[in-house]
Chain A
């Protein structure tokens, strides 16, 4: 394990998020300084600034932190969405004919303003469902948008607005997070972490195409900070990881019981066989022993990374016999007793 390089993001305030694009050749950073910076890997592997984007509202609204960026699939163009504490979601597209660092390289295609509170998490749906974007935030609403013209991406329709945590003020305490199921073989599904009641639930559409909460991922002792649905890679089951303030990383296995022979779990509803997953917690990893903030799968769903308040980033891999094993650790501290700050 090595540190290849470091580079200076140069924001004027703390960084909130960093996201690689679909290919891993571009990187977006977002910060409390209301700016998003896009970086590109050059031939030598160094990261070079592509553009600085000001993500602030045109009106009188006070400027605010950009909390997260999420890239779209490249079949919709060089596109990412950002969400901010100012309740806005913005969709950006790169104009390859414009000069880099000219201020015109990225144009805002759309601004989605339905949220009543700051937006905590956004993620594009897997591309086989079209140009769709899900968001969730402090107002406790899960919103799903779809671009009417996937080529232009300028007009997004709010397709669904689901109240995850009823009766909360627009700026609630607590965190909300979501993650789409990536499988091409499954209907639209996602896991949603609700910061108010320390739960994570599977949401999917019922027979009337209404999004409904189904299975719950049990056992969380505190707020769930992040959820990640693993790419399923043709497996017969699904894996979902959660990061929890109780210091645990948990991995849940979802096995489809509606298609199996176990008839008990099959509940006919509206003439259709309702899907039902058996949920087991297959790993409960306590190594962080402090608030865990993030979990993320690699693109084949074989490596999980987690970062926590022990100042460590841990990489996990399923081993042959011993369950999930920590195979790599990165620490925030100085090696040795270097006194520098």
Chain B
């Protein structure tokens, strides 16, 4: 009963239970912080150009190029259990066939509270293409600024910081001269 093995076993059991309880408490504490910061997102311009698909070199495909402005102060999202913030701009639209699309065009990882005040005039980082290869007759797109709060331990949470007030239509395709 009082062997070294038994003592070690009891101590390690106690230690691991305490650690589990502490981690659970930290994970639960992040539900207390319910910041919902709002920012501003505007689309400056959208252009559509033809190009070749990455996998199919002969397939002609439309590519959209979006210039946008983002201003948001996301520092309230940083509390003691915030490891990082994944910030992304996503476009949402429905195409001619009725397919609902959601495409991330830009993202950024914010790791410090000091960097959480975002003010960017950017353009899309990732290719923005349509499933049917053409943006003709596609419905106007909503653009949204969303974030994912990633904790040190616990539950991942998502939120929306901004969205364009009016849907932005896709222009006619421009030919490359």
Are A and B associated in one complex?
A: no
Interface residues of B (CB under 8 A from A): none
